[in-house]
């Protein structure tokens, strides 16, 4: 169990941070109570992980061979990367940190599944674009339905709140399905866990992060989404959920924050307003490059450090 | 289907309609009080009707405060909350005008000269029609019963008519041989009465904006 701590920590921090992308706007605007959102999110993350988390785990564990030792190193290196980059205020993605750490292990093993890595890289670049495209489609579809329904103020309000809860739950399901691989895939690769245990432990650790530490992030990050009008916030959450779910089916863990940025950009395109600053786009690009690089350097350094031997007399 | 989950919202909706009922009652008593003043001048009957108008205006105020209190307990999404609070604040100016007008007549012991009474009656009638249309418009916003845009146009044309009548009365007052002090008193009364339709027009436009804001 102790050897799984790196992964569990990753799952916990993922839950604490990423739940804001699915329930943040509803909680920060007090449309849904924090505990209702947290329990729904934690439950659906676990369900998503158990139902559809397998594909991502297969992709990540297939990137290289893992020994027991290397799996632990990869998870600790990824956890270190996420913590340190968050502390110094750099943009970070758990998915990219985990792949970076696996890359480090692959370099040590001199064995990397290039095709698998290519698939992951293409999906990363495609993440914000997926958010944009699905954001536009979801906006058009929901707008057509909403205008056709011709609801009064109270009905529209009620419908919006129900949809936010439903979209948030679906987003949590997609988050669990997509991101559980980040937490425990390396342990499956090393033969320490079977897929079911990996999805169960991964899903539970993400859920734990949501229940114990997501409140503040939900309240602060969620406010950024609330500055959009409520309908656009719903579109962003639903587009994020659909995009992340698609990547879960493809089997590549992606950054939910980058999907959200893409979806916000998509809504902005439809409304003819500039919703994203250039700095945010630069940050995404930096995350693609810096996070895997830092994580692989950490993995290599940790491996090197654990192989140092004290030889008396020299 | 899930409305049982949103009891507070249903309560707010009920309170808004209670508020509208009280507004209507205030309006009806204002109309009766004004008719009494036009027909018989100040007296016991008028005083009673003025007190009744004040009573219903206070009741409307109490309901409004109850709604505001519920709103601050996080009912509805923030945007709807803000819109409803703004709307109530704006509508509430109308019963305040009713009360101010009656207190003005009662406190200053105003006598309306016969030569402007028909015009004042006409101004009051059209202004109160505007108020009825505003109530309809609020109902349309909350129940989708009528076309809000069509009501905006009707209220706007009524308001223009009120402006015209108002100018006509003021002209008649200053053309008359009345005491200059009385002329100013009556001018103030007429301008206050004209404010009713102006405010109804403002409320009507806000309601229209709230409704188009929700179109996506």
pLDDT in tens, A236-289: 999 999 999 999 999 999 999 889 989 988 998 998 877 667 777 787 788 788
pLDDT at A154: 85
**DSSP per-residue string spanning A47-102:** HHHHHH-HHHHHHHHTSS---HHHHHHHHHHHHHHHHHHHHTT----HHHHHHHHH
**Interchain CB contact of A97 with B (< 8 Å):** no
Interface contact A230-B77, CB threshold 8 A = yes
Tell me if B92 sits within 8 A of B61, measured CB to CB: yes
**Interchain CB contact of A34 with B (< 8 Å):** no
Spatial separation of the C-alpha atoms in residues B45 and B34, rounded to whole Å: 11
Q: Which residues contact B167 (CB under 8 A, 6 or more apart)?
A: none
**Interchain CB contact of A152 with B (< 8 Å):** yes
- Own/partner contacts of A144-149, CB < 8 Å, gap of 24 or more, are A146/A231, A146/B216, A147/B215, A147/B216
> In which residue ranges of chain A is pLDDT below 70?
1, 221-222, 224-226, 275-276, 314
pLDDT at B5: 61
pLDDT at A226: 58
Q: Which of B9, B83, B216 sits opposite A147 (nearest CB)?
A: B216
Tell me if A48 sits within 8 A of A65, measured CB to CB: no
pLDDT at B48: 95
For chain A, which residues make up each domain, given as ranges?
Answer: 2-306
pLDDT at A234: 92
**Interchain CB contact of B215 with A (< 8 Å):** yes
Per-residue model confidence as pLDDT tens digits over A9-23: 999 989 988 888 899
Tokens representing B157 are: 């044309």
**Interchain CB contact of A157 with B (< 8 Å):** yes
| Closest alpha carbon within chain A to B4 | A158
Interface contact B144-A158, CB threshold 8 A = no
Using alpha carbons, select from B81, B102, B89, B55 the residue that is nearest to residue B199. B89
Q: Which of A146, A152, A162 sits opposite B144 (nearest CB)?
A: A152
Spatial separation of the C-alpha atoms in residues B153 and B137, rounded to whole Å: 11
Rounded to 5 degrees, what are φ and ψ at B209? -65, -45
Tokens representing B197 are: 């339709």
Interface contact A153-B141, CB threshold 8 A = yes
Spatial separation of the C-alpha atoms in residues B139 and B204, rounded to whole Å: 12
pLDDT at A261: 87
Tell me if A6 sits within 8 A of A75, measured CB to CB: yes
pLDDT at A95: 92
Tokens representing A151 are: 């609801």
Q: Which residues contact B54 (CB under 8 A, 6 or more apart)?
A: B99, B102
CATH number for the domain formed by residue range(s) B3-213: 1.20.58.220
> In which residue ranges of chain B is pLDDT below 50?
none
| Closest alpha carbon within chain A to B12 | A154
Q: Which of B74, B79, B144 sits opposite A230 (nearest CB)?
A: B79
Q: What is the pTM of this model?
A: 0.83
């Amino acid at each position: 169990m102790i050897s799984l701590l790196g992964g569990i920590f990753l799952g916990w921090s993922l839950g604490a941070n990423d739940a804001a992308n699915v329930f943040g706007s509803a909680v920060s605007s007090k449309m849904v109570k924090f505990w209702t959102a947290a329990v729904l999110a934690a439950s659906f993350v676990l369900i998503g992980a158990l139902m559809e988390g397998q594909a991502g785990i297969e992709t990540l564990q297939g990137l290289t061979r893992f020994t027991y030792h290397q799996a632990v190193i990869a998870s600790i290196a990824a956890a270190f990367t996420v913590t340190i980059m968050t502390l110094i205020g750099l943009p970070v993605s758990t998915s990219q940190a985990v792949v970076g750490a696996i890359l480090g292990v692959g370099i040590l093993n001199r064995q990397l599944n290039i095709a698998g890595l290519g698939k992951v890289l293409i999906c990363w670049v495609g993440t914000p674009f997926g958010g944009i495209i699905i954001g536009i489609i979801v906006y058009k579809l929901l707008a057509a339905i909403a205008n056709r329904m011709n609801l009064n103020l109270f009905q529209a309000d009620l419908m919006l709140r129900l949809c936010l809860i439903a979209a948030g739950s679906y987003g949590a399901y997609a988050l669990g399905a997509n991101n559980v691989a980040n937490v425990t895939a390396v342990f499956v690769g090393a033969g320490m866990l079977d897929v079911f245990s990996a999805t169960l432990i991964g899903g539970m650790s993400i859920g734990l992060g949501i229940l114990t530490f997501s409140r503040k992030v939900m309240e602060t990050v969620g406010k950024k989404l609330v500055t959009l009008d409520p309908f656009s916030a719903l579109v962003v959450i639903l587009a994020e959920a659909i995009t992340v779910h698609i990547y879960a089916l493809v089997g590549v863990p992606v950054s939910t924050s980058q999907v959200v940025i893409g979806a916000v950009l998509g809504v902005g395109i439809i409304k003819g307003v500039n919703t994203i600053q250039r700095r945010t786009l630069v940050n995404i690009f930096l995350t693609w490059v810096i996070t895997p690089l830092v994580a692989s350097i950490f993995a290599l350094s940790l491996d090197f450090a654990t192989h140092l031997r004290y030889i008396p007399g020299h | 289907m899930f409305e049982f989950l949103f009891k507070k919202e249903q309560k707010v909706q009920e309170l808004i309609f209670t508020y509208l009922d009280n507004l209507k009652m205030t309006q009806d008593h204002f109309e009766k009080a004004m008719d009494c003043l036009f027909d018989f001048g100040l007296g016991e009957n008028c005083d009673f009707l003025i007190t009744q108008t004040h009573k219903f205006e206070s009741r409307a105020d109490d309901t409004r405060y109850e709604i505001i209190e519920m709103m601050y307990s996080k009912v509805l999404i923030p945007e709807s909350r803000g819109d409803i609070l703004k709307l109530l604040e704006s509508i509430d100016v109308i019963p305040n005008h009713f009360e101010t007008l009656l207190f003005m007549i009662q406190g200053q012991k105003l006598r309306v000269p016969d030569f402007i009474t028909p015009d004042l009656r006409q101004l009051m009638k059209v202004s109160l029609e505007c108020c009825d249309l505003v109530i309809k418009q609020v109902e349309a916003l909350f129940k989708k019963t009528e076309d809000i845009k069509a009501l905006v146009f009707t209220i706007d044309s009524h308001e223009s008519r009120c402006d015209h009548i108002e100018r006509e009365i003021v002209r008649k007052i200053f053309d008359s041989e009345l005491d200059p002090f009385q002329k100013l008193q009556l001018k103030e009364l007429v301008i206050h009465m004209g404010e009713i339709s102006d405010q109804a027009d403002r409320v009507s436009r806000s309601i229209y904006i709230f409704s188009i804001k929700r179109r996506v």
